[in-house]
Structure 1
């Protein structure tokens, strides 16, 4: 029985006879929705700070707002543990359906939350609870969705199909930045602060039922069905923590540089462009849209490259480029703080994000067996995102304020990219020594 399980873990189900686009769409749409909600909160952090976290200082208000953004990431590991384990015990489909339902509840709470001026202290509490629900949901989404994608894919094209999850993050960025830019352009500042920002959250709330319907129509993965028929994993969390500890820690390290770069250069950039470069809000969102378009188009290309040339080779080169370019990118932005410069920089940012995040889902899937893959994926990704990404906007906002140095965010990105390069090299050596069945 153990030999059968090991074989299934290293020999993925072969679906070469057909292309699993229906399954990829089902897994991706929820991921796109969750990332859209994440970005929208970050893009409207300044307005949310004023409405729900009023303070004497505008900087303090912004810090409270982005701090609440980070609070949702504290819930990610819990979501990873509970929903990831649920995906390994009950199946990928039930976990995916549950995660998108929880996300819709959190989004609805934010969209209709009364402001501090209306109900006082209860207002920020509602926002905090909503963000915690969203964080819990997102914590389980990555593991179940990625496992679902790779277990429907041909073993030789796992990188390509898993990378579509990142491509839909690019689509979410385009939608979030596009809607934010449209609202900023068509509404006055007073209208945007009064009710306009709620429209952005309402859009995400409308997409949710579509994703829920699609996920209810999909089948469980053949690979999971086969493993469950042999032996169901009773405690996937215990298995990962006791028997896959090294892989888990290295997986966290691998994701750290990519996620720090992603959250600093993409999610935080509209706020940085507005507050530090004094670029109009509409133009700052345009830069984020460019990043999203590039990520959406090129993530599958880098995923396919990882299938052909190897995940470790593609990822290590991309991470080294991130470490080398982060400071020059911020230097260029501060030397020539124009919309044209912002668009050019964000184009390159999108390319680098795709080069890093494109191969990562399949890489993490490769290092965990089917019986605990959902848990292993969820924990490694979400612990890293929580530690290095979730509080990145808060950290870099504080760094700029404390040092009065607009280049401070680049130092954070360089440090985390160095950690990732070391982790990738160590994991590559470990995988070479792993016995094959």
Structure 2
């Protein structure tokens, strides 16, 4: 097999399985309203929805543990075996969600099983980001940010698929059937696709940076001097993008519970977010390779912080499907375009033998603290304050913190001709 074809197969193996894992994980968020009735019956709809999104957050609790365990494994045994492990674990968690009987059938055991499945999914997804991003960065090509951007693009593909399947099922089955069993179908479809992804990953080659080398140790070749403070800065940078991402995923629920739009409108918004995520990720990767990692990482993150509140005010003033799609797509594009540069820079900050573990910790801790709580927080804020703009203020606050942290992250593009503009850490 030629080097080009082998490279393409390796990329396909990483991004395809990553897309499936993200699809399985976020599908829960898209069908939170239906899951309430199946596993969390309550006489108060607000309480039931809070329980549902709280269990969504449970999946994030296991992420830091998965990032440390699987990230360490990837830095010692290689990227390939770690990526195979995450795929198997995600399959177990997803099948469990699809097959768990409802509360009416087995009582309190149902939500307990759902919690267990979410923990397995979280452990797997926490361990996925480090090895998969490191693998893409270590492909022998100068377009490093472009390859890393495929990580976010695959998440956009997963979002589009989840929205398309959800919209098709809603139109074909109706609200009653969706609440009874239709929401299980996307989980089952995701599980059925995993064998394909596993086959691709079994055939992939190990990257050079992770391959065992003769001698006592491999030399570290970080682009910039490594400092422990980068872990804290990275978590803050990830937090801004995470809050924006999960508020975007929450738009399906927001459109039905706040804007009073039909379920199909929320699922269409999900698809718009997915398409904008693909476009933004690829555009951000190209931009980060051409002008450097820092400009898109900083300026586009600042744009998210400034634009979110006005965008939500516009949406509330014109609560129709067209405005919902436009607001969701624009914010998602800006968020992921910034994220491509940020993820590349954070990955390049660490030497190869620490890269998978360090990046996994940064990403999973940031996502666990803020992604796992975002939907619960915004649901609680809306219910407590009665202010439907509350999610936007939360996004703005988190992204202001990310902007400040980015000011201290150095430019990491190799052979940078311009002088770095960065404060020392």
C-alpha displacement at 1:229, in angstroms?
Answer: 3.3
- Spell out, residue by residue over 1:31-76, the C-alpha distance to the aligned partner (whole angstroms, 9 max, x if none): 1011111221001111111110111211111100100000110100
Checking the alignment, whether the CA contact within 8 Å between 1:107 and 1:130 is kept in structure 2 is yes
For 2:198, the equivalent position in structure 1 comes to 212
Distance 1:187 1:18 in 2: 42
1:15-38 C-alpha deviation (Å, 9 max, x unpaired): 998883222111111210111112
Of the three residues 79, 96, 102, the one matched with 2:89 is 102
In the alignment, is the contact (CA less than 8 A) between 2:282 and 2:337 conserved in 1? no
In the other structure, the counterpart of 1:53 is 40
RMSD of equivalent CA atoms: 2.0
* 1:413 corresponds to 2:389: no
1:349 Cα deviation from its structure 2 partner: 2.0
| 1:426 alignment partner in structure 2 | 408
State how far apart, in whole Å, the 1-side matches of 2:145 and 2:404 are. 21
Cα 1:17–1:118 change in 2 (3 A) is closer
Separation in structure 1 between the aligned mates of residue 231 and residue 147 of structure 2, nearest angstrom: 22
Does the residue aligned with 1:224 lie in a helix, a strand or coil?
coil
Number of the residue aligned with 2:11: 24
Matched, 1:331 2:313: yes
Residues 284-323 of structure 1 correspond to what in structure 2 (within 5 A)? Answer: 284-323=266-305
Alignment match, 1:127 = 114
Write the deviation string for residues 273-332 of structure 1: whole angstroms up to 9, x where unpaired.
110001111111111101211221331221011011111111100110000011011111
TM-score by length of 2: 0.92
Q: Partner of 2:245 in structure 1?
A: 262
1:249 aligns with 2:232: yes
For structure 1, the 5+ residue unaligned runs are 1-14, 237-242
Structure-1 residue corresponding to 2:375: 393
- Among 131, 144, 158, the residue aligned to 1:172: 158
Could you list the structure 1 runs, at least 4 aligned residues long, displaced by more than 4 angstroms after superposition.
Answer: 15-19, 429-434
The CA deviation at 1:157 is 1.0
Task: Report the equivalent of 2:340.
Answer: 358
- Tell me if structure 2 keeps the 8 A contact 1:20–1:153: no
Work out the CA distance in 1 between the residues paired with 2:300 and 2:317.
25
SS of the aligned residue for 1:337 comes to coil
User: Any conservation in 2 of the 1:23–1:152 contact (CA below 8 Å)?
Assistant: no
Q: 2 CA distance for matches of 1:397 and 1:277? A: 14
Kept in 2, the 8 Å contact 1:103–1:137? The answer is yes
Gaps of 5+ in 2: 221-225, 414-419
CA contact (8 A) 2:30 2:252 kept: yes
CA deviation map 1:377-415 (0-9, x unaligned): 100011001111111000000001110100001111111
Q: Quick check: 1:19–1:153 contact (8 Å CA) kept in 2?
A: no
Contact preservation (8 Å) 1:153, 1:161: no
Query: Aligned ranges for residues 377-392 of structure 1 at < 5 Å?
Result: 377-392=359-374
Q: How many Å separate the matches in 2 of 1:292 and 1:315?
A: 20
2:147 pairs with 138, 141, 161, which one?
161
Cα distance in 1 for residues equivalent to 2:412 and 2:157: 34
TM-score, normalised on structure 1? 0.90
Structure with greater helix share of residues = 1
**2:138 aligned to which of 113, 133, 151:** 151
Q: 1:113 to 1:362 in 2, by over 3 A?
A: same
Q: CA deviation at 1:256?
A: 1.1
Q: Quick one: structure 1 residues 433 and 360, their matched pair in 2 at CA, closer, same or farther if it must change by over 3 Å? A: closer
Q: 1:17 to 1:287 in 2, by over 3 A?
A: closer
Q: Distance in 2 between matches of 1:260 and 1:90?
A: 33
In 1, are the aligned partners of 2:308 and 2:396 still within 8 Å (CA)?
yes
Number of residue equivalences: 409
Aligned partners of 1:232 and 1:371 also within 8 Å: no
Residue 4 of structure 1 corresponds to none
